[in-house]
Amino acid sequence: MKRILQGVGVLILLALFVIAGSVVRFDKSKEELLPKYANEASQFITLPDGAVAHVRDQGNKTGPVLVLIHGSNASLHTWEPWARLLGGSYRVVTMDMPGHGLTGAVPNDDYSRTGMVTFVHEVTQRLGLTRYALGGNSMGGGVAAQYAESFPDEVAALVLVDAAGIPRKPQPGGKIPLAFRLAQIPVLNKILLYVTPRSMIAEGLHKVFVDQSKVTDEMVERYYDLTLYDGNRRATGIRFRLPPDDGAVAEQLGAIKAPTLILWGDKDGLIPVEYAGEFAKRIPGSKVVIYPDVGHIPMEEVPEKSAADVAAFLGLTFAAEAAGTPPVPVETAPVHHDGKIEVMPISPE
């Protein structure tokens, strides 16, 4: 009997090792992922605190500059469609934020919104940028909004894409990616440091797109690999434990002077489309474009439409600035309805 019990115990241990081996995922190294996700446009810029920022500086080097900030658990790759479509006229600068992409963990472990504003400013300073348009999606939209509040003389125009930055009502759990929900739960978020199923990444991507054909195996693999990049999961855990700071950003939105374009997918289940109107009410003279049957990431789901709207907005904005005339009046704000563009005035409250 003793031998039988010992044998059963050995089998149980073997089974546990097999299960652990099938679900535990260790961090992936720089040597493994740089060849896959860096390219000829990639730069690695060392910042004052020792962070090494993965940056791409692409497009027309003599054109107006557009700096873009990605969302939570994404990377600079989310902006590649815009970089391709806008690069003929604009110099497009993208970067992996702290705790994301190939930037990875940063020495000071500051993954707050204020820390990210500082990070972006240090990158723009290293690149010698003094006046530029700034855009951001989701988390990056909140960073961009706070940046415009903090450095008004540098931001010539602001583009907010399904942006964070206004306190939100709780959304039904089924609309929030599982990874985001688990990251906010004590103990379980510790498990995510080692157990991060690829299926969980795929589930999150499927929830932020309406057009499911956009969620390719290549996209899932990229998001998964960069989630596992050295230190990113630990950084995500730190970031999700930070107290919400949307209120501080929202209070200052009325002080933004830069011409502002607000883009939103009407089927966004992560930050509902009603918040496009909230931003418009708070930012004087802002313009709104709503995309029908589009989710949380319009620049990837409808890149041609969204890039065209950005090009039209920036063209008028930079032309007005060069001529020393006021920005485009609010009455000309284009809004997509059923694929058509119509004029809709926005009256800030």
pLDDT tens-digit map of 176-189: 665 555 555 555 55
In this structure, which amino acid lies at residue 299?
A: M
pLDDT tens, position by position, 35-75 = 999 999 999 999 999 999 999 999 999 999 999 999 999 99
Q: Which two tokens stand for residue 153?
A: 């003389």
Q: What are the tens digits of pLDDT across the range 259-301?
A: 999 999 999 999 999 999 999 999 999 999 999 999 999 999 9
Q: By C-alpha distance, which of 133, 135, 79 is closest to 297?
A: 79
Q: In the structure encoding, which two tokens stand for residue 167, read together?
A: 């306190």
Nearest to 41 by CA among 14, 23, 61: 61
In this prediction, residues 1-25 reach a mean pLDDT of: 44
Mean pLDDT value across residues 85-95: 98
pTM: 0.84
Strand order in the sheet with 132-138: 42-46, 52-59, 91-95, 65-69, 132-138, 155-163, 260-265, 287-291
Percent of the chain predicted with pLDDT > 70: 79
pLDDT at 19: 37
Instruction: Work out the average pLDDT over 198-207.
Output: 92
Query: From CA 28, how far away is CA 227, in angstroms rounded?
Result: 9
pLDDT at 330: 41
Residue whose C-alpha is closest to residue 25's, from 236, 220, 192: 192
142, 25, 86: which is closest to 307 by C-alpha? 86
Average pLDDT of the chain, as a whole number: 86
Helix axes 113-126, 139-150, angle to 10 degrees: 70
Total Cβ atoms within 10 A of residue 327: 18
Give the tens place of pLDDT for each residue, 145-168. 999 999 999 999 999 999 999 998
Task: List, in order, residues 6 or more apart from 42 with CB less than 8 Å away.
Answer: 54, 55, 56, 102
Q: What is the pLDDT of residue 232?
A: 96
Dihedral sign, Cα of residue 338, residue 341, residue 347, residue 349: positive
Q: Provide mean pLDDT across the span 119-136.
A: 98
**pLDDT value of position 130:** 96
Query: How many CB atoms are closer than 10 A to CB 150?
Result: 15
pLDDT of amino acid 323: 87
- The stretch 118-140 carries a mean pLDDT of 98
